[in-house]
Amino acid sequence: MNGPRSIVIDCDPGLDDAVAIALAAASPCLAVDLVTTVEGNAPLAMVTANACSVVAALDMPAAVHQGHRALRPDPSRLSTAIWGGDGSLELAPGAAPAVADAVSALAGWLDARPKRQRIIVAIGPLSNLARLLAERPGLAQESAELVIMGGAIGRGNATPEAELNIWVDPEAAASVLASSVPATIVPLDITRKLIAGPGFTATLAASGGKPAELVASLMPKAGIDSHPAAIHDACAVGFLLWPELFRLERGALRVVTGPGPAEGRTLWIPGENGPHRLVVGLDQDLFLGRMAERLAAAKET
């Protein structure tokens, strides 16, 4: 493909979301057209403010569009309620979000690029995408592809059964994954092991570019209150950059909905004709090394 790939990052910043956005901004092969927000790591107003701050810190041209809460909003399911803190990244304020809401912005983005490969990188709950699919049930025929960070085949983190992005809005996740839109899923089983050591931060601190500076400034928060220790969401962007580091299996991912201890659990059904690709392996050390190099290489222009 000629030129950078056009992507939207649908997110709930979040430290690991911010790292994912910085990694995309540092990658010339990707063009981040929009950043859309969804309630998950923190209440919607906080994650939107964080997204605006991250985009401003990176001097990105992408507009931020505020999205939606879960189909059944439940504040007790947010990261801030489970792990504490208020979710703030404590960055300088950015510009106010654009007027159009996330779903309208996503629909307009799809309409503006009918002949290009388009990728939506979904690293928060799938509330916005469920609404988009309700408006555009033919999304699978629009050459759009999803890369999703979410779900857990083994133990969850929000509950023993459920990973947080699914747990916040199980019905939305179920509807998106039951659609025919092709998706690659990077589950918690892979991302929870992606913990950057002090050498990672030191490499970035020695660089002069905005992506490296932003990530280096945020890493001391990792593992504190609602900020995760692992860089979960960067895996979704990293898959677009270095797919050779990821081992995939084809099948279908389904979500348990309805009340009960298994609510939000993701079930993997292997099958060569399934609509989904699940990441089942990752060279973590090489991934972290490449991510540090890419972030550090994005110098001021």
Asked if the model's pLDDT at residue 143 lies above 80, the reply is no
The DSSP-derived string for the chain is: --SPEEEEEEE--SHHHHHHHHHHHT-TTEEEEEEEE-SSSS-HHHHHHHHHHHHHHTT--PEEE-----SS--GGGSHHHHH-S-----PPP-PPPBSS-HHHHHHHHHHH-TTS-EEEEE-S-SHHHHHHHHH-TTGGGGTEEEEEE---SS--SSSSS--HHHHH-HHHHHHHHHSS--EEEE-HHHHTT----HHHHHHHHT--SHHHHHHHHHGGGTTSTTS-SS-TTHHHHHHHH-GGGEEEEEEEEEE--SSSTTTT-EEEEE-TT-SEEEEEEE-HHHHHHHHHHHHHH----
Q: What percent of the chain has pLDDT over 90?
A: 84
| Mean pLDDT of all residues belonging to the chain | 94
For position 64, what pLDDT does the model report?
98
| Residue entry with tokens 């049930």 | 137
Q: Give me the pLDDT at residue 116, please.
A: 63
pLDDT at 79 over 60: yes
User: What are the tens digits of pLDDT across the range 121-134?
Assistant: 999 999 999 999 99
Look at residues 164, 144, 145, 146 and name the one whose alpha carbon lies nearest to residue 155: 164
**Percent of the chain clearing pLDDT 70 (strictly above):** 97
Domains of the chain (ranges, CATH numbers): 5-297 (3.90.245.10)
Q: What is the pLDDT of residues 88-124, one digit of tens each?
A: 999 999 999 999 999 999 999 998 876 567 899 999 9
Binned at pLDDT 50, 70 and 90, residue 299 comes out as low
CA dihedral 154, 157, 162, 168 (to 10 degrees): -150
| Res. 281: pLDDT tops 70 | yes
pLDDT for the residue 114: 61
Asked if residues 190 and 163 have their Cβ atoms less than 8 Å apart, the reply is: no
Q: Of 101, 152, 161, 150, whose CA–CA distance to 124 is shortest?
A: 150
**How do residues 202-255 score in pLDDT, each as one tens digit?**
889 888 899 999 999 999 999 999 999 999 999 999 999 999 999 999 999 999
- Between 199 and 27, residue with greater pLDDT: 27
> Which residue out of 68, 227, 232, 276 is catalytically annotated?
232
pLDDT at 44 over 70: yes
Burial bucket for residue 105 (CB in 10 Å: 0-12, 13-18, 19+): buried
What are the backbone dihedrals phi and psi of residue 4, each rounded to the nearest 5 degrees, phi first? -70, 155
Q: What is the reported pLDDT for 207?
A: 84
Place of tokens 């050390």: 285
Q: What is the pLDDT, as a whole number, of residue 81?
A: 97
Mean pLDDT of 264-271: 97
For the whole model, what pTM was predicted? 0.96
Residue 92 CA to residue 218 CA, distance in Å, equals: 13
Does residue 232 carry a catalytic annotation? yes
